Amino acid sequence: MEAERLAKFLSRSGIASRRRCEEIISSGRVTVNDIIVLEPGYRVLPGKDIVALDRRVLNQALDQPKNPIYIALYKPVRYLSDLLSHSERLVARSLIPIDSYLFPVGRLDYHSEGLMLFTNDGMLANRVMHPRYGMEKEYLVKFKGVLSDEALRAMVKGVIIEGLRYKVTKVRFLRHSLANSWYSVVLTEGRNRMIRRIGEKIDHPVLKLKRIRIGPIKLGDLTAGQYRFLTPREIKSLVGSVEGLA
């Protein structure tokens, strides 16, 4: 495991955005091995150093928990994926009344909805989220207008946005109305607002976005705000998926 910036570690653990994590560190709320660290660029080893926020250890620095928890949540729109909010905006974690540190797996932006996973298994959370493992995430996306063949090819081939190539793994037409259309979009990367940025780039803004699958785990019959524990079969399938991608 390579060392990484403390602010990046906190952000990857689901605490808040990178910038907000830098502010949290500078305020003296974070310790590394029981020592207060004020420098966001301080480098930590996630598998070795013990990082705590407000004296609560972030389990991503520890071994597999003795009692692992795996939860699927339907995040409603207008909820933050971060564990902390510095405004009056609600956080998705508040919908799960369990007193345990849980990592959010697979963030969704404020205006998007659908499947998120929460777990205290930091190793699994990292593998599901890290782009190098290529875990598929599937979305139902409503675009403005109907995408042309050229636009669909551009989505798969990739479009350049701020010097970076953004592309989807698969895109499949589902249905359309007079003015808009729905598609299934599959990603193996997780850049911030990725599908929305691609939609803006190809002149078909995203009107609605709902994630329905993370790897083998499906949203199923959950409604907005509901959560459930993963079944033993789902856990086995998810663990098997990340091990197969390693």
Active site amino acids:
109
Which position has the token pair 């991503």? 60
Distance CA 65, CA 138 (A): 28
- Supply φ then ψ for residue 242, to 5 degrees: -70, -30
Name the pairing type of β-strands 227-229 and 159-161.
Answer: unpaired
